[in-house]
Amino acid sequence: MARPISYRIATEALSKFPKQELRPDYQIQDVLKKTLEARFANYNPSKEAEELFRARSLQMLQENRFMDRYKLSGRMLEPNSQPTYFADLVREIEEAPKRTWFERLGKKLSGMVRLQ
């Protein structure tokens, strides 16, 4: 039996999702793929419109359409309490997978002890 179009759209969108470097053994596309397989295991054609809506939403997320439509800038990215918070967070996420065991241990210990 041929798979419905909503299934094909969703699997194509999931295959294009970027791989997460922070936790390479736990990818969001793998989790969503299992959910998709479970939903389509006992597929009901009367729910095709709902499934197509879900698949198109997933496709829009993958294509960053919402990021283009709702740009974040200015005060939203620079809170008064800690103006460099988001820049520091992005830098930390990019650096984390490349750290050695010793560097990870040092970060963990420095996080436990805070001197002010």
Q: What are 57-111's pLDDT values in tens digits? A: 999 988 888 887 888 777 788 888 888 898 898 898 888 888 888 888 888 888 7
In terms of domains, do 60 and 96 share one?
Answer: no
CA-derived radius of gyration, the chain: 20
In terms of domains, do 39 and 26 share one?
Answer: yes
In terms of domains, do 12 and 65 share one?
Answer: yes
pLDDT for 115 beyond 80: no
In terms of domains, do 26 and 10 share one?
Answer: yes
In terms of domains, do 60 and 87 share one?
Answer: no
User: To the nearest whole percent, how much of the chain has pLDDT over 90?
Assistant: 20
In terms of domains, do 55 and 81 share one?
Answer: no
From residue 36, alpha-carbon distances to 26, 28, 33 in Å are: 17, 12, 5
Report the 3 state secondary structure along the chain: CCCCHHHHHHHHHHHCCCCCCCCCCCCHHHHHHHHHHHHHHCCCHHHHHHHHHHHHHHHHHHCCHHHHHCCCCHHHCCCCCCCCHHHHHHHHHHHHHHCCHHHHHHHHHHHHCCCC
pLDDT number for residue 1: 54
In terms of domains, do 58 and 22 share one?
Answer: yes
In terms of domains, do 12 and 53 share one?
Answer: yes
Q: Domain total for the chain?
A: 2
In terms of domains, do 63 and 15 share one?
Answer: yes
Report pTM: 0.67
**Which residues make Cβ contacts (< 8 Å) with residue 111, sequence separation at least 6?**
none
Query: In which domain, by residue range, is 83 found?
Result: 74-112
